[in-house]
Structure 1
Amino acid sequence: MGIQTSLDAVVRADRLVDSMRLADDLAFEASRDGGARTVRVLTFALNSEDQLAAIAATHALAQIFDEQADIALSRLLSSSRGFMREHAAWALSLRLPRFDTVGRLIGLVSDGGFAGMVAQRTLEQWGSPVAEHLAIGLESALLGIDDPGARYRLVETLGLVRKSVATPALVRIATDIGEEESVRVAAVSALGQRRGDRAIVTVLDDLSRTDGYLADVARLSLVDLSDESPVADDTHRGLTIAQLFLHADLDAGLTQAGSGDNGGIATLLVRLGDALIADESDPPRVERVITLSRGSVADALQSVQDIGSTRWGHDYGRVPLLSEPVQSASAWPLRVAARRGIRRMLRAAGGVDLLHLRMADVGSLAAADVARELDIPVVFTVAPDPHAVIHSLDLSGRLTRQNFGEVDEVEHFWFRTHLVQQLAANAAHTVLFPRPSLALDMRELVGIDITAHPERHTIVPEGIDLEVVDRAVQESAGHAAGQPATGSLQELRDLLESLPPERRGLPLLVSVGRFHRVKGMATIVDAWANSPLADRTNLLLIGGNLIDPSADEREQLELMDAIIAPADRFAAGLVLSGHRRNDTVARWVAAARFGLPGLAAPHGIYVCGSLKEEFGIALLEAMGSGLMVVAPDGGGPATYVESGVTGFLTPTWDVELLRSAMVKALDASVAEATPDRATVSRSTVEESFTIQAMARALSNVYQGVQDEESESRGWSFAAL
């Protein structure tokens, strides 16, 4: 094609997702014809106002093994544009080490953030060939830096230098009582990765005999140094499956659902783990599920014991990130701690047959490294995320070529799309969500042709626990018929009693989810408040931490406050409840259908305002309750919401169209005189979207992967 023609294709593509995919072609052309002209064309594009093209040119330069390409990438580390420094640090990971870039990469690590993470990854890859140079550079940087956060990151990076040249400095920092505790923690954690040195064991043992946080970290490091992992039990009849979501506090009771990042995926993993081991087939296909989520160092120590002493059931393992909880978009710098924690839990399990990854996040990035190290096959659930978000933002005009890099610096779209491709390419099997045009979307949005090797892909819808929903419906219907309110319904009554008397006879418009811009909670408020809907309904939003909101939650709350002042919420009919337990949420959603005597009329509706929804657990629960729903017109919801019958599909990024769909849904719900439509909604869920059906489908996938792995390993040994 030629480098100029390929670059023109990136610039002229109609959609941003197309340009991103064509950037891979540009990189290929650069690797194929890496002459002086190619370097010149790409170097000129680095300064383009088309920020997407500038990023594409950066990664294309990384494919050219030429001194001038190295110089161009090195210069980008000093670019005035932050996103270009970030992508240059990433691109350099494909190059041979350059001494003139080490100092600036160390500077990025010191500064932290996502750019610091990609710089650290590059330095880690360079660790063996230039170990001495890297260790000297990091120790020199520490001499001039006092900030504890920066020192932590530099010491953590020093710990990634595997050769013994880094050990003396790590021991010195770990035992320095004048050093900030968090910095000592980085050194102690790194020492836990250096087996075979009795002096290190002595240092950690001494530290572990004290009290406090540092002592707990030392105990974890001693666990990491130990060769005593539980021996796999050959008498097991079923598989051991590990799954994870590190941005949530997962527990069997789902007590934190809806807070921070504890959204639908948190609910799904808890319910799914239980359903997988509840399979009554003989022998059981899955005998043990280990669900990993974040937790404290003390929690991790307890998890090592708990997981090491059990051999069946649904266990919860804690991965300490050595940091205060952060949102998923900001968690990338926790990669090293995540990787160590995941490895620790999988080793403690004494043998894991398969690891199921689902997100393009730091947890999957770290877990994929561990799976490769421990030779554990991976099943990856592939979804067009963030591809679908990029496309929605492109259509809405909020993401353009001229601001792509600046937005990417916050959202990390480019890195996440490539992570999806990498995880899918390396997975033993991929799982897909149903979509109306699945093959087309996967090819055009993600760049994966699922028709090429269909045996490697399985479509598995998500599912919900209908027993929880049915109990909620029964209680809500009973209360509407005059029975006393149960505890959860009384909570809702107490909340709605703050509404002024004139609003207590209106139906509820309800939405459940995280307070995150992708979930569109503020968009729902906008669509509702600036329309006649505000006079006809009260709006109940369930989710978010209202007491101590995260940055993402605060952003959504501020957008809502600009529409309705906090002091005026109840008077206007806006009710923010904060996050609630999953079973409580189920009862509140059902109450929107049946009403609450004296406080809410029946015939409410459910609204999902997400920019994208890969499948939609909360939507399925609402439909299972019999509610009329409003849902995004793409992704999973379009496969189970029959528009105009069980709900209304709409481009949720368009406020006017969302508002129109909400009005139509309310009109249709209020006009219903029989439960026929509600019965259809529930039947739709019961027939195809239960957690039990999902567990059966995944059990088949897991067993198939296990059979293939056993066959391939047997063939390998036979060949030897």
Structure 2
Amino acid sequence: MSTPAQAGSCSTSALPPTAPDLLVDARRTFFHGPRLRKVTARADSPATGTLQQFLDAEYSTDFTSSVSGPHATLDTADITVARLRQLCRLSAPLAPEAVLAHDFANPAVAAVLTDMWPVTVSCYGKPHAEAVLRNRLTGPHLDTADIPFLLDRAESAGLRPLTADEAVSLPAHDQRGARHALWRYLHSLPGGHTHLPDPGQAADPYERLLANPPATLPDHPAQHGTVVAQTMLQGDLDTPGQGLSGGMSVLLGGLGDQLATNEYIGHVLTVVTAGHDSLEREMNLLRPRTPAHTVLRLPVDAPASPPHEGWTPYRAALNWWARRLFAALPRKVDVIHLRFGDEASLALADAAEHAGTRTVFTATPDPHRTLTHTYTDTCSTASDEEHLLRDDLHRIFCADRLVDRSDEVIGIAGPSGAEHLLRHFPVLEDRYGPDGPPAPPEGIAPYTPDPAESTLRKQMLDALYADGSRTDALSPQDRELPLLLSVGRLHPVKQQDMLVHTWLVTEMWRSTTLVIVGGSHNAPARQEHETRRRIHELLRGHNAAASRLAIVPAMPNMSIRRLERALADPASGPATWYVCPSAKEEFGIAILEAMEAGLPVTGPQRGGVAHYVHDGVNGLLLDTSSPSGLARGLHRLRSLPESTRHRMAMAAQHTATTRYALQDMTDFLCTTYSTLAQRPRTNAVSRGARVDPA
């Protein structure tokens, strides 16, 4: 079986910080060294083949020898994208004619040109850019496929190359993307609304909202203080463990609630996205969560939130919705906090700059730290792996643009956090010095027991052990067996299928039960469906083992934490270990919550878990890069005496309760947000500032 840890890469392990890393060398040379020097593999570096060609194209100006010849694999589009990214990083925008001469039907090209366009307009002037757009839109060779890109570039920069009458005569009505771009453009024109369709005739809720977006949003209680927006653009805030919703849903839900109680914070907006399925259930775009914490939903013309790598087609529309809805709020957003290096965050950064809102960006060195190790010449150079490499290089570019454009960059807490961040983002050392950017302490929200807590815990355990023939429950007769618990969204990076595989081949199923909590039974996302399919394939012919495995649908966070407390109670729950088999966890909210509940935990060596789980002291660290590594970890876990398991559980609980309170993170961020909101604005043009389309 090919596990998620094995598929599409040679290894999931990062290089040690001192090991040769071609990406680090290329970026340091580009940002700090002579840019005419070719990026080359050192004698002690692993040969990299295709990776070296991509890095040469993107980070040096002397790359001819490595991107041509019999062994070259880069095509013209790859080279074009690489050179455009280089121009963006150098703050060297192309003229409008040059921008629009490119093949922006290529999504990767269009993504870079979108980021370059506002500075192009600022440098060359609105009249010139408007004239160039008009020539393209009225020319005899206009391709209908080009209309969305051209109209979106006009609308985003406040340009009016066509009148409303001219715009509606474009052949854009039969293609959904072009039609929507036309409507967005018409909204910006005097009298343009008269050409918009009747919302009652719209094909679906998204088009109904686009034809008639709200001009104002409901007022919230008037309070003094900083208005903060925090973004969670993948998944749903209220359904952790389903689809793309994971620990970030839990973190931002609790963090937003707690921020809203601080005397210096006037209001908190958690910005999420709403796809077709969500809009069908609810059309309201502003949903109160607490009196001072509101959820703002940005419509997306897709069934659900796209994954990080899938945002390119939706960036222009997401930016338009954010600008529109921010302007409709009763109070201006002072600070927005962006957390992922993708095009969705770039769209929100565009909207923030348009509104004069300060931006905070949490930078993480992913996929930077595994790139060289993953794409060495010992791997296949099949087109699917080249596709993954292109995606990773694009994510690195997006993160660079967000670092460049943010008013404040913060890192991830931990002993090696600043070291890894400065290693992979050389510009941050120039900006913050050798200690790197500040990093807030991480934490989890306090657990509030229900008045009927003991009854609810008993009901949860009874439901868990109701019937071993069900896929979401265990047999009552197995209640005394030790239990392995794993909580998280069903996704390849979480590697639940590898956990099941290892549990089976090591025959741990004979002496333990396994409970996996996550995913949706009713409407599983593609990754959930694939993970379930793999698990069902593994269980084929293993009926006895299947009765000792329960895959329980995701449940509200407080229910998860109640279940963990029930399992941690020696008077009612079995001897339980919490097992996280993920390839890596940046922080691991679910692990920390299990520790706080009193469970002994295991987590991956890679990522941030090692910052608070000390192997053999308050938990175990696992090699999750392969089934054999995970098998060794599970065997070690199973061989520990009960007294050691209990000691680790107590130590884990002490760590969580004394060092990782959410209040510490809240206090840090309140200070950061309030200080930033009051700081005089500096000239941001050198950081790729957006032109105000007003």
Same fold (TM over 0.5): yes
1:329-340 → structure 2 map (5 Å cutoff): 329-340=309-320
Distance 1:647 1:373, change over 3 A: same
Taking the aligned partners of 1:237 and 1:646, their CA distance within structure 2 comes to: 43
Among candidates 242, 246, 261, match of residue 259 of structure 1: 242
Answer whether contact 2:93 2:120 (CA < 8 A) is retained: no
Distance 1:502 1:153, change over 3 A: farther
Answer whether contact 2:486 2:516 (CA < 8 A) is retained: yes
Among candidates 169, 173, 194, match of residue 202 of structure 1: 194
- Asked whether 1:187 is paired with 2:177, we answer no
Distance 1:651 1:216, change over 3 A: closer
Taking the aligned partners of 2:439 and 2:388, their CA distance within structure 1 comes to: 33
SS of the equivalent of 1:514 reads coil
Taking the aligned partners of 1:623 and 1:705, their CA distance within structure 2 comes to: 34
- Map of 1:131 onto structure 2: 133
- Asked whether 1:383 is paired with 2:373, we answer no
Distance 1:79 1:439, change over 3 A: closer
Shift of 1:163: 4.1
In terms of mean alpha carbon deviation, does 294-303 or 284-293 score higher? 294-303
Answer whether contact 2:206 2:301 (CA < 8 A) is retained: no
Answer whether contact 1:515 1:556 (CA < 8 A) is retained: yes
Answer whether contact 2:202 2:208 (CA < 8 A) is retained: no
% same residue: 23
Taking the aligned partners of 1:161 and 1:172, their CA distance within structure 2 comes to: 22
The higher-RCO structure (CA 8 Å, 6+ apart) is: 2
Taking the aligned partners of 1:590 and 1:392, their CA distance within structure 2 comes to: 40
Taking the aligned partners of 1:271 and 1:444, their CA distance within structure 2 comes to: 32
Among candidates 19, 22, 25, match of residue 22 of structure 1: 25
- Map of 1:668 onto structure 2: 640
Taking the aligned partners of 2:468 and 2:441, their CA distance within structure 1 comes to: 35
| 1:249 counterpart letter in structure 2 | D
- Map of 1:271 onto structure 2: 254
Shift of 1:218: 6.2
Among candidates 609, 632, 655, match of residue 684 of structure 1: 655
Paired positions, count: 639
- Asked whether 1:240 is paired with 2:240, we answer no
SS of the equivalent of 1:659 reads helix
Shift of 1:314: 0.2
Distance 1:162 1:709, change over 3 A: closer
In terms of mean alpha carbon deviation, does 402-411 or 690-699 score higher? 402-411
Shift of 1:556: 2.9
Taking the aligned partners of 1:373 and 1:440, their CA distance within structure 2 comes to: 33
Answer whether contact 2:99 2:117 (CA < 8 A) is retained: no
Among candidates 258, 264, 270, match of residue 291 of structure 1: 270
Answer whether contact 1:538 1:573 (CA < 8 A) is retained: yes
Output one character per residue of 1:35-81: Cα deviation in whole Å (capped at 9) or x when no partner.
xxx79x99xxxxx97121111222246x68xxx99xx99xxxx9658
Taking the aligned partners of 1:49 and 1:649, their CA distance within structure 2 comes to: 30
- Asked whether 1:635 is paired with 2:607, we answer yes
Taking the aligned partners of 1:489 and 1:411, their CA distance within structure 2 comes to: 47
SS of the equivalent of 1:356 reads strand
Which structure has greater helix proportion?
1
Answer whether contact 1:343 1:370 (CA < 8 A) is retained: yes
Taking the aligned partners of 1:551 and 1:410, their CA distance within structure 2 comes to: 22
Answer whether contact 1:16 1:390 (CA < 8 A) is retained: no
Taking the aligned partners of 2:657 and 2:506, their CA distance within structure 1 comes to: 35
- Map of 1:4 onto structure 2: none
Taking the aligned partners of 2:275 and 2:353, their CA distance within structure 1 comes to: 26
1:54-453 → structure 2 map (5 Å cutoff): 54-60=53-59, 87=82, 90=85, 96=94, 105-109=103-107, 117-118=111-112, 129=129, 130-135=132-137, 140-142=142-144, 163-166=159-162, 168=165, 170-172=167-169, 176=173, 179-180=174-175, 183-192=178-187, 194-195=188-189, 197-198=190-191, 200-204=192-196, 207-208=197-198, 210-213=200-203, 217=207, 220=210, 223=213, 236-250=223-237, 254=238, 256-279=239-262, 284-296=263-275, 313-325=292-304, 326-349=306-329, 350-390=331-371, 393=374, 400=379, 402=381, 406-407=385-386, 409=388, 412-447=391-426, 448-449=428-429, 452-453=432-433
Shift of 1:548: 3.8
Shift of 1:337: 1.6
Q: RMSD of the TM alignment (CA)?
A: 4.5
Shift of 1:561: 3.8
Answer whether contact 1:592 1:605 (CA < 8 A) is retained: no
Q: Return 5+ residue gaps in structure 1 as ranges.
A: 1-11, 43-47, 714-720
The two structures have a TM-score, normalised by structure 1, of 0.75
Answer whether contact 2:50 2:381 (CA < 8 A) is retained: yes
Shift of 1:514: 1.8
- Asked whether 1:526 is paired with 2:501, we answer yes
- Map of 1:626 onto structure 2: 598
Distance 1:82 1:608, change over 3 A: farther
Shift of 1:562: 4.2
- Map of 1:45 onto structure 2: none
The two structures have a TM-score, normalised by structure 2, of 0.78
Taking the aligned partners of 2:541 and 2:231, their CA distance within structure 1 comes to: 36
| 2:581 counterpart letter in structure 1 | G
- Asked whether 1:605 is paired with 2:585, we answer no
Output one character per residue of 1:571-618: Cα deviation in whole Å (capped at 9) or x when no partner.
362222232222222233334334796xxx611111112222121100
Answer whether contact 2:457 2:566 (CA < 8 A) is retained: no
Distance 1:683 1:52, change over 3 A: same
Taking the aligned partners of 1:547 and 1:222, their CA distance within structure 2 comes to: 32
Answer whether contact 1:380 1:423 (CA < 8 A) is retained: yes
Distance 1:574 1:89, change over 3 A: farther
Output one character per residue of 1:240-289: Cα deviation in whole Å (capped at 9) or x when no partner.
10011111222xxx2x211111000011111101011123xxxx111210
SS of the equivalent of 2:598 reads coil
Answer whether contact 1:489 1:588 (CA < 8 A) is retained: yes
Taking the aligned partners of 1:676 and 1:699, their CA distance within structure 2 comes to: 36
1:534-613 → structure 2 map (5 Å cutoff): 534-565=509-540, 568=543, 571=546, 573-594=548-569, 602-613=574-585
Taking the aligned partners of 2:93 and 2:337, their CA distance within structure 1 comes to: 31
Taking the aligned partners of 2:518 and 2:218, their CA distance within structure 1 comes to: 40
| 2:105 counterpart letter in structure 1 | G
| 1:23 counterpart letter in structure 2 | A
Answer whether contact 1:387 1:417 (CA < 8 A) is retained: yes
Shift of 1:87: 4.1
Shift of 1:387: 2.8
Shift of 1:363: 2.5
- Asked whether 1:702 is paired with 2:673, we answer yes
Distance 1:563 1:268, change over 3 A: same
SS of the equivalent of 2:634 reads helix
Answer whether contact 1:220 1:301 (CA < 8 A) is retained: no
- Map of 1:5 onto structure 2: none
Output one character per residue of 1:184-240: Cα deviation in whole Å (capped at 9) or x when no partner.
333213322x24x22x12213xx245343468646546558x6x799999x843211
Distance 1:569 1:653, change over 3 A: farther
Shift of 1:20: 1.5
SS of the equivalent of 1:449 reads helix
Answer whether contact 1:540 1:574 (CA < 8 A) is retained: yes
Distance 1:662 1:668, change over 3 A: same
Answer whether contact 1:303 1:317 (CA < 8 A) is retained: no
- Asked whether 1:649 is paired with 2:649, we answer no
Answer whether contact 2:480 2:574 (CA < 8 A) is retained: no
Answer whether contact 2:226 2:265 (CA < 8 A) is retained: yes
Taking the aligned partners of 1:520 and 1:355, their CA distance within structure 2 comes to: 33
